[in-house]
Amino acid sequence: MNPRPPAATCPSCTKRVEPVEVGGRFPVHYVPGTPRRRCQPTPTIVRRYHLVHPCITCAALPERPADWSLMNADATEWRPETPRPLDPESGPRLPECVTHRRARLAAQKARRRASARVRDRGVAEEDRDELWAAQGSACICGRALTSTGKAPTLDHDHRRAAGHDHDTVKACRRCARGALCDTCNRILVGRYSPTQLRMVARYMEHPTAELLGWWDD
């Protein structure tokens, strides 16, 4: 007697449809909660990962052990108990849920940005992180960039860069100065000279109105 084929998870509505076989088509079924709306899964062919989770990343995750609790939770990502629907923009070659697709695209975007920074600035990510850590993980203005989530910008001296084997808009370890927030790099440090900044600091500490005695009235 042949065993009964297992149930599969529909990649669109996450409904358990049974019985199905790998290589066949999903049987006609309705979206949960809408008995008159037929579901049209994409892809329509049942794959092996559909027997567990429609998302191939979820299917590859380890199952959560029975003695697992929040008290001893670690960084391990467990397989979701409830199957997640596939992302509508996910193709049949790489079916993923919204969570894992966004995480993969974000990681790809971060790698491209890191490669572009190394190409344009000539300083590796480890060197920039070393500068940032040496400043106390904060910009010279005291901003920690924890709220914005943006990476610090590499600041370099254009005058020193003129004597090196690269364009002045690029940088290297010999002309780098530190890691700043975007505002300080573009406006504060990138626009004013040290003399002008000292004059501004002196003005802020002792304004002209205070020197004229207006504040004594």
pLDDT tens per residue across span 63-74: 887 776 654 556
Least confident of 17-31, 48-62, 109-123: 109-123
* 81-89 mean pLDDT: 86
Does position 90 have pLDDT exceeding 80, yes or no?
A: yes
* 123 CB-near residues (< 8 Å, 6+ apart): 117, 154, 171, 172, 173, 176
- 102, 84 in Cβ contact below 8 A? no
- 179, 153 in Cβ contact below 8 A? yes
Domains of the chain (ranges, CATH numbers): 1-64+76-121 (no CATH), 123-208 (3.40.1800)
**pLDDT band for position 5 (cuts 50, 70, 90):** low
Does position 149 have pLDDT exceeding 70, yes or no?
A: no
Instruction: Among 59-68, 109-118, 172-181, 197-206, name the most confident range.
Output: 197-206
Whole-structure pTM value: 0.60
Which residue, among 17, 15, 51, has the nearest Cα to 34 in the 3D structure? 15
